[in-house]
A and B are shown apart, each in its own frame.
Chain A
Amino acid sequence: KAGVTQTPRYLIKTRGQQVTLSCSPISGHRSVSWYQQTPGQGLQFLFEYFSETQRNKGNFPGRFSGRQFSNSRSEMNVSTLELGDSALYLCASSLAGGVTEAFFGQGTRLTVV
């Protein structure tokens, strides 16, 4: 069974640009969550989707957005990039979210210069 796939693995962008990251969950999993990991703040929750509906959102500015497609694949977008957006962005998939186990992808390392 394939794991969670995130693309791309690495990305370098310039301040002010926008970026889209992709996540394909484990087959059969309908919940996808996104997290930002930085050395200073650790892992911070961005948002969670289930059956194309956002059920929860973390405390991030509106520049961070996401969506989920009917096949459960998800994308997150960051507009008007800032240096502080440099981080490892992680996607987690689970059967239904909530108490069910969450499995993470390898992440996308975003560097903003």
Chain B
Amino acid sequence: TQLLEQSPQFLSIQEGENLTVYCNSSSVFSSLQWYRQEPGEGPVLLVTVVTGGEVKKLKRLTFQFGDARKDSSLHITAAQPGDTGLYLCAGANDYKLSFGAGTTVTVRA
């Protein structure tokens, strides 16, 4: 059983569309990190959010940390084929990361 629930599990959209990935938990985390992973490679860190209610923008990506520090969302505007990958959220507590199962995003050209 995953400590963090990610939804949806799969997402396939056309280039130029927007998408949102959700990450929810009943646990409170010290911080929450989002990663993107490509097949056979390690996850690449996209962002770390620490403060409840925090919003961070990274070009076309917007990350939000819930007020209670239990949930987060990732929004991509005008998705591009290069955004294709497995998106993982991970909550940090007790010197470890607890990962969600991931959302596989496919952006079609």
Please determine whether A42 and B2 come into contact, CB atoms closer than 8 angstroms.
yes
| Overall SS of chain B's interface | strand
Closest CB of chain B to A9's CB: distance in Å?
9
- 19 other contacts beyond A33-B97, A107-B42, A109-B40, with CB at 8 A cut-off? A31-B95, A33-B96, A35-B99, A42-B102, A43-B88, A43-B90, A50-B95, A55-B95, A90-B43, A92-B97, A98-B30, A98-B95, A99-B50, A101-B45, A101-B48, A104-B44, A104-B45, A107-B40, A107-B41
Interface residue total, chain B, C-beta cutoff 8 A: 25
A27 within 8 Å of B (CB atoms): no
Contacts A/B (CB < 8 Å), 6 sampled = A44-B99, A55-B95, A56-B94, A92-B97, A104-B43, A104-B45
A42-B101, A102-B33, A104-B35 given as contacts; is B95 within 8 A of A97 (CB)?
A: yes
List of B residues within 8 angstroms of A103 by Cβ: 45
Please determine whether B98 and A45 come into contact, CB atoms closer than 8 angstroms.
yes
B31 within 8 Å of A (CB atoms): yes
Please determine whether B95 and A56 come into contact, CB atoms closer than 8 angstroms.
yes
A16 within 8 Å of B (CB atoms): no
Closest CB of chain A to B26's CB: distance in Å?
18
| Residues of B that sit less than 8 Å from A by CB | 2, 30-31, 33, 35, 40-45, 48, 50, 88, 90, 92, 94-102
Closest CB of chain A to B25's CB: distance in Å?
14
